[in-house]
Amino acid sequence: MRKVVIFIACLVLIAISIYIYNYWANYQASYEEKTIIEAIDIKNEDITALVFMSSDKSTWEVQDKETINNFLKFLDEYKVKKMKVSGYNWQDENISISLITKDESYSIKVEEAVVRVNKGDFNKGHYEVLNSPIDIEKIKHF
Protein backbone atom coordinates (compact mmCIF):
# COMPACT_ATOMS: atom_id res chain seq x y z
CA MET A 1 0.00 0.00 0.00
CA ARG A 2 2.86 2.34 0.85
CA LYS A 3 4.45 1.83 -2.57
CA VAL A 4 1.17 2.77 -4.27
CA VAL A 5 0.94 6.02 -2.27
CA ILE A 6 4.57 6.92 -3.11
CA PHE A 7 3.96 6.11 -6.78
CA ILE A 8 0.85 8.32 -6.93
CA ALA A 9 2.66 11.11 -5.08
CA CYS A 10 5.50 10.95 -7.62
CA LEU A 11 3.04 11.11 -10.52
CA VAL A 12 1.34 14.15 -8.96
CA LEU A 13 4.72 15.83 -8.42
CA ILE A 14 5.72 15.18 -12.04
CA ALA A 15 2.41 16.60 -13.30
CA ILE A 16 2.77 19.72 -11.13
CA SER A 17 6.38 20.18 -12.29
CA ILE A 18 5.37 19.98 -15.96
CA TYR A 19 2.55 22.49 -15.40
CA ILE A 20 4.85 24.95 -13.59
CA TYR A 21 7.53 24.62 -16.27
CA ASN A 22 5.00 25.32 -19.08
CA TYR A 23 3.50 28.26 -17.19
CA TRP A 24 6.94 29.78 -16.57
CA ALA A 25 8.05 29.26 -20.18
CA ASN A 26 4.89 31.00 -21.49
CA TYR A 27 5.32 33.81 -18.95
CA GLN A 28 8.93 34.36 -20.02
CA ALA A 29 8.00 34.25 -23.72
CA SER A 30 5.43 37.01 -23.24
CA TYR A 31 8.27 39.38 -22.21
CA GLU A 32 10.52 38.63 -25.19
CA GLU A 33 11.13 41.11 -27.99
CA LYS A 34 8.59 40.77 -30.82
CA THR A 35 6.88 42.81 -33.51
CA ILE A 36 3.60 44.60 -32.82
CA ILE A 37 1.80 42.09 -35.06
CA GLU A 38 3.25 39.19 -33.03
CA ALA A 39 2.10 40.92 -29.82
CA ILE A 40 -1.43 41.25 -31.21
CA ASP A 41 -1.27 37.61 -32.36
CA ILE A 42 -3.44 38.01 -35.43
CA LYS A 43 -3.19 36.82 -39.03
CA ASN A 44 -3.36 39.40 -41.82
CA GLU A 45 -5.95 37.48 -43.82
CA ASP A 46 -8.39 37.47 -40.89
CA ILE A 47 -8.76 41.27 -40.78
CA THR A 48 -11.76 42.66 -42.67
CA ALA A 49 -11.57 46.31 -41.52
CA LEU A 50 -9.59 48.83 -39.49
CA VAL A 51 -11.23 51.59 -37.48
CA PHE A 52 -9.03 54.48 -36.34
CA MET A 53 -9.78 57.04 -33.63
CA SER A 54 -7.28 59.78 -32.87
CA SER A 55 -6.87 61.54 -29.53
CA ASP A 56 -8.94 64.45 -30.89
CA LYS A 57 -11.83 61.94 -31.36
CA SER A 58 -11.85 62.01 -35.17
CA THR A 59 -12.52 58.56 -36.67
CA TRP A 60 -12.09 56.85 -40.02
CA GLU A 61 -12.45 53.32 -41.35
CA VAL A 62 -10.45 51.28 -43.85
CA GLN A 63 -11.85 48.19 -45.59
CA ASP A 64 -9.54 48.04 -48.62
CA LYS A 65 -7.46 44.84 -48.32
CA GLU A 66 -4.35 46.41 -49.88
CA THR A 67 -4.42 49.34 -47.44
CA ILE A 68 -4.95 46.95 -44.53
CA ASN A 69 -1.94 44.88 -45.62
CA ASN A 70 0.20 48.03 -46.02
CA PHE A 71 -0.79 49.16 -42.54
CA LEU A 72 0.09 45.76 -41.04
CA LYS A 73 3.48 45.83 -42.82
CA PHE A 74 4.02 49.30 -41.32
CA LEU A 75 3.25 47.99 -37.82
CA ASP A 76 5.43 44.93 -38.38
CA GLU A 77 8.48 47.22 -38.67
CA TYR A 78 8.27 48.09 -34.97
CA LYS A 79 9.78 45.89 -32.27
CA VAL A 80 8.16 45.87 -28.84
CA LYS A 81 8.77 44.37 -25.43
CA LYS A 82 6.07 43.86 -22.81
CA MET A 83 6.23 46.29 -19.90
CA LYS A 84 5.76 45.17 -16.31
CA VAL A 85 3.08 47.76 -15.51
CA SER A 86 -0.62 47.30 -14.88
CA GLY A 87 -1.59 50.75 -16.16
CA TYR A 88 -0.14 53.59 -18.14
CA ASN A 89 -0.79 57.33 -18.20
CA TRP A 90 -1.11 58.33 -21.85
CA GLN A 91 0.76 61.60 -22.27
CA ASP A 92 1.39 62.18 -25.95
CA GLU A 93 -0.85 62.17 -28.98
CA ASN A 94 -2.23 58.67 -29.48
CA ILE A 95 -4.45 56.71 -31.83
CA SER A 96 -6.76 53.80 -31.01
CA ILE A 97 -7.11 51.22 -33.77
CA SER A 98 -9.68 48.44 -33.90
CA LEU A 99 -8.79 45.45 -36.03
CA ILE A 100 -12.05 43.82 -37.05
CA THR A 101 -12.26 40.11 -37.93
CA LYS A 102 -15.23 37.81 -38.50
CA ASP A 103 -14.99 36.24 -35.06
CA GLU A 104 -13.18 38.62 -32.70
CA SER A 105 -12.16 42.19 -32.22
CA TYR A 106 -8.68 43.36 -31.41
CA SER A 107 -7.61 46.85 -30.54
CA ILE A 108 -4.37 48.67 -30.03
CA LYS A 109 -3.71 52.08 -28.59
CA VAL A 110 -0.59 53.59 -30.10
CA GLU A 111 1.61 56.33 -28.74
CA GLU A 112 5.09 57.15 -30.06
CA ALA A 113 6.82 54.92 -27.50
CA VAL A 114 4.06 52.68 -26.05
CA VAL A 115 1.43 50.31 -27.47
CA ARG A 116 -1.44 48.72 -25.52
CA VAL A 117 -2.88 45.52 -27.02
CA ASN A 118 -6.40 44.23 -26.31
CA LYS A 119 -8.12 41.09 -27.52
CA GLY A 120 -11.83 41.66 -27.06
CA ASP A 121 -12.21 43.04 -23.54
CA PHE A 122 -8.98 41.41 -22.34
CA ASN A 123 -5.93 43.67 -21.96
CA LYS A 124 -2.92 41.70 -23.20
CA GLY A 125 -0.53 44.33 -21.86
CA HIS A 126 1.43 47.48 -22.52
CA TYR A 127 4.46 47.23 -24.77
CA GLU A 128 7.46 49.53 -24.96
CA VAL A 129 8.41 50.33 -28.56
CA LEU A 130 12.10 49.51 -28.85
CA ASN A 131 12.71 51.27 -32.17
CA SER A 132 10.48 54.26 -31.36
CA PRO A 133 9.08 56.69 -32.12
CA ILE A 134 6.12 55.29 -34.02
CA ASP A 135 5.20 57.63 -36.86
CA ILE A 136 1.76 58.82 -35.70
CA GLU A 137 1.43 61.15 -38.68
CA LYS A 138 1.87 58.23 -41.09
CA ILE A 139 -0.85 56.29 -39.26
CA LYS A 140 -3.20 59.24 -39.79
CA HIS A 141 -2.75 58.85 -43.57
CA PHE A 142 -3.94 55.26 -43.78
Residues 47 and 109 grouped into a single domain: yes
Residues 53 and 20 grouped into a single domain: no
CATH code at 46? Answer: 2.60.40.4250
Residues 47 and 113 grouped into a single domain: yes
Residues 77 and 116 grouped into a single domain: yes
Radius of gyration of the chain (CA): 20
- pLDDT at res. 79: 92
Concatenated DSSP letters of 7-59: HHHHHHHHHHHHHHHHHHHHHHHHTS-EEHHHHHT--GGGEEEEEEEETT--E
Residues 17 and 71 grouped into a single domain: no
Domain hosting residue 114, numbered range: 34-140
pLDDT in tens for each of the 142 residues of the chain?
A: 788 888 888 888 888 888 887 777 666 666 788 888 888 887 767 788 999 998 888 888 988 889 988 998 998 899 998 887 767 777 778 888 998 888 888 888 888 888 888 887 667 788 888 987 888 888 888 8
